[in-house]
Every structure is written in C-alpha cells, then in structure tokens.
Amino acid sequence: MNREKAQIVSGVVSVIGNAILFAVKFMVGLMTGSIALMADAWHTMSDSLTSIFTVVAAKLAAKKPDKEHPFGHGRWELVASIIMAGVLAIIGWEFTTQAIERLRNPEEGVIFGTLTLVITIISIVVKEAMAQFGFYLGKKHKNPVIIADAWHSRTDSLSSVAILIGIVITMFIDGLWWMDGVLAIICALAIFYAAFEVMKEAVTKILGEEPELDLQNKITAEALKIYDNDLKIHHLHIHDYITQKELTLHIMLEESMSIKEGHKIATSIENMIKEKFDMVATIHIEPLESVM
C-alpha cells in the first residue's frame, strides 16, 4: 500500500465508521435530550466530514510536479489539515456556548439510561480502534493528514469516556442537573485540543523546520565517508513538500581546490543524501578560510 492508497483507505474507513456512530449517538441524544451526547455525536460526524478532506487531499497531493508547481502538490495535505482544524474549532465553540447556556438555565436532569451506557461503551471501543489504525498508517507512511484524522478519532474516544463517567455517576447520584453541561464542555475542550494539535503540526511544516541534531550528525558522518577532511557542514534547512523533501546545506572545502573538484564532491554528497535519506539536496560551497 503506497502513501496515496493508505490515505484513501483511512479516509473511507473513517467516513463509514463515523457515519454509523453518528446516526446511533444522534438518535440517543434526541431521545435523552442530552447536549453532551449531541456534542459527542456531532464530534463524530466532524470526523466523517474531515475524512472526506483526507480522501480529496490524497488525490490532489498525488498529482505529479508541473511547471507551476515544480515541487509537487504534496502540501495539499497540509491545507486539508488546516481545514480540519478549523472545522473542529467551530464545532468546539458551538458546543461550548450550548453547554454554558444549559448551565445558566437549570432544568430537569437528563436521564441517560442503560441504552446510553451501552452505546457510549461501543463508541469508545470503535473510535479507539479507528484511532490506532490511523496512527499506524500515518506513522508508517509519514502522512500528517492520516495522523490528524486519527487524532480526531482519539479525541472523540476521550470525550466519550468523559460522558461514560458522567453517566455512571448520575446512575448512582440524583440531582446532578449540571452534569450534562459539564460533560459537554469537556467534549468541547477535547475538540479544541485536537484542533490545536492538527493546526500546530501543519503550520510548523509550512513555516519550515531545522533538521533534528541526530539527522545532522548522520548526514555529516556519511559525508565524511566521501570526503574525509572536515567539511564543517552547516546551515542545514529542510523544506518539506510532504511528498518530496528538499535539503539545503553549506560545506567548506579547501580554497585551493578547483571548481571541478568541488563540484564532484558536492554532487557525490547530494547523491548520497538522496539514496540514504530520500531528500533532494542543494549544496552551497564555501572556502575553508571563510567565517561561518
């Protein structure tokens, strides 16, 4: 399974599973009048909607580089992630306001019942299974969109855990009219957290990031096998286009070395980086005597 197929499979599984769970949760929410259950249901539906973005983004990101986009279309995955985060934030805000309104206007407590308990437990198990499946595919294929979608499933599972706790408590203690509002706020906070995590990862990749020290050390060690003098490798920067990564770096060579010799060394290092680290490298050469 390649990167594109993994994203499509993850999206389709999520759409189908979440649509079924939404229908069940929504029906129970209507029967009980619980804002928390309704929030949890729409949180589940948001997963289904954002999974559609996952499938669409997979198709867009798989397009080959062209004249207008020489680095490919992989960053469509990041655009999809940002859209997902925005949808989650809107849904979180909507249920926060509804929960506050419920707390400001006390009414007869919601009676959850055994059916609600069973449906909530099933939801927790199914959503966590979907999250684990998404995390597995996302990490295996280094795909931020699949991981973002998995986070949606994880937060839905956690919010259902909060509701489960509330249901159990209300089954043993009477008069907790405020429980439904509090649970709805907990669900909203889980949604906000998911939106923040997804947005942070996407924005970080768009802004660019410095390679981890371990990666820098590995590249330097491999480069020294090609040219055993101290290259003083520095100014490493990764430009992540998702389906393709570009690495720029500086090396220092003896000032007396000819352009032809320097070019040969730089080309050898670029080929090594492509072969061992799967990145397209561009190397800037500086004379050894210059100040970094």
CATH, residue 261: 3.30.70.1350
Q: What is the mean pLDDT of the chain?
A: 81
Domain end marker among 191, 207, 223: 207
pLDDT at 108 over 60: no
Average pLDDT over residues 91-105: 79
Q: For 156-204, how does the pLDDT look when each residue is reduced to its tens digit (9 = 90+)?
A: 787 778 778 877 887 787 777 777 778 778 778 877 887 888 788 788 8
CATH, residue 113: 1.20.1510.10
User: Do both 279 and 142 map to the same domain?
Assistant: no
User: Do both 148 and 252 map to the same domain?
Assistant: no
The per-residue pLDDT for 274 is 92
Whether 281 and 270 have beta carbons less than 8 Å apart is answered as yes
Q: Is 63 helix (H, G, I), strand (E, B) or coil?
A: coil
In a domain, 145, yes or no: yes
Domain end marker among 207, 233, 263: 207
pLDDT band at 1 (very low <50, low <70, confident <90, very high): low
Higher pLDDT, residue 104 or 124: 124
Share of the chain above pLDDT 90, in %: 13
Higher pLDDT, residue 255 or 98: 255
User: Do both 194 and 276 map to the same domain?
Assistant: no
pLDDT band at 292 (very low <50, low <70, confident <90, very high): very low
CA 54 to chain centre: 11
Higher pLDDT, residue 219 or 57: 219
In a domain, 292, yes or no: no
In a domain, 165, yes or no: yes
Mean pLDDT is lowest, of 78-82, 123-127, 193-197, 287-291, for 287-291
Please count the structural domains in the chain: 2
- How is residue 42 written in tokens? 């729409």
Q: For the range 252-259, what are the long-range contacts, defined as Cβ-Cβ under 8 Å and sequence gap of 24 or more?
A: 252/285, 252/286, 252/287, 252/288, 252/290, 252/292, 253/227, 253/229, 253/285, 253/286, 253/287, 253/288, 254/229, 254/287, 254/288, 255/287, 255/288, 255/289
User: Do both 264 and 185 map to the same domain?
Assistant: no
The per-residue pLDDT for 284 is 94
Q: For 18-50, how does the pLDDT look when each residue is reduced to its tens digit (9 = 90+)?
A: 888 888 888 888 887 777 777 778 777 777 777
User: Do both 221 and 275 map to the same domain?
Assistant: yes
Q: For 254-276, how does the pLDDT look when each residue is reduced to its tens digit (9 = 90+)?
A: 888 899 999 999 999 999 999 99
The per-residue pLDDT for 111 is 61
Average pLDDT over residues 126-148: 84
The dihedral built from the CA positions of residue 65, 273, 76 and 44, taken in this order, carries a sign that is: positive
Average pLDDT over residues 99-121: 74
User: Do both 219 and 200 map to the same domain?
Assistant: no
pLDDT band at 291 (very low <50, low <70, confident <90, very high): very low
Whether 127 and 163 have beta carbons less than 8 Å apart is answered as no
The per-residue pLDDT for 106 is 66
Length of the chain: 292
Domain that holds residue 107: 3-207
